[in-house]
Structure 1
């Protein structure tokens, strides 16, 4: 009978530990109340292109502020829990990338677009429009063998 009692004790202790872990994590939060790491990934990539020495020298005319401002809109709508507005704002951002608004380089626009497809939750952008294989258009960088 002792082995059965031991098994019951292990099950009971395991259950208590699971309850403690679940309670310490808290209830599932709404989209707007957790920190949106995917937005940070995209914003960080924009900052990389904006501040990168190569892109500053080769594309001094590129207007990265347009993209940073649109990501601020995405972050604000996401943090308030407004998924419809986040969907619209994120699609606007991806449309900007497709159009190369602000005269950004093709390579950077393609890489950012691919990153958006990879990290953005599928419910927050038009996956029917923005899905598919990575965009690999040639830029002046890749044509020079870089």
Structure 2
């Protein structure tokens, strides 16, 4: 019987001690904002292509700048702006803006689908492109 009383006393003391520590630290700490790992991965992919760039340096600079803008929208908590900016990024790749080769543009476009959360881009664009590439027709 004394063991049960000791366990109860110990559990109560730990609960009070934990509560006191939480109060001393100013209450519960907010959860940290999730890191945009997907954006880091996308930026690294663009930078890798930039590193492989031929004699005409600067082709990927607008893409890097655009992803930097996306990061600012994420930091500011502007989900709609992130969605619009990522779709603009895909527009740039589809149009081969700034002289990006079709192979590199397709590779980055496909990688965008893999790493970017669905809430930040129009997933149907990737599906339509896949259907068109595989079957020669439009998906929509």
Which residue matches 2:117?
121
**Contact 2:96–2:105 at 8 Å: present in 1 too?**
yes
Q: Normalising by structure 1, what TM-score?
A: 0.65
Gaps of 5+ in 1: 7-15, 17-25, 138-146
Which residue matches 1:89?
85
Q: How does 1:31-42 map to 2 (within 5 A)?
A: 34-42=34-42
Q: What stretches of structure 1 move > 6 A for 4+ residues in a row?
A: none
Residue 56 of structure 1, aligned match among 47, 54, 57: 54
Gaps of 5+ in 2: 8-17, 19-28, 134-140
Query: Greater Rg, structure 1 or structure 2?
Result: 2
- Specify the SS of the correspondent of 2:54: helix
* CA RMSD of superposed structures (Å): 3.8
Considering Cα pairs closer than 8 Å and 6+ residues apart, tell me whether 1 or 2 has the greater RCO: 1
Q: Are 1:108 and 2:104 matched, yes or no?
A: yes
Per the TM alignment, residue 104 of structure 1 is displaced from its structure 2 partner at its CA by 0.6
Per the TM alignment, residue 73 of structure 1 is displaced from its structure 2 partner at its CA by 1.0
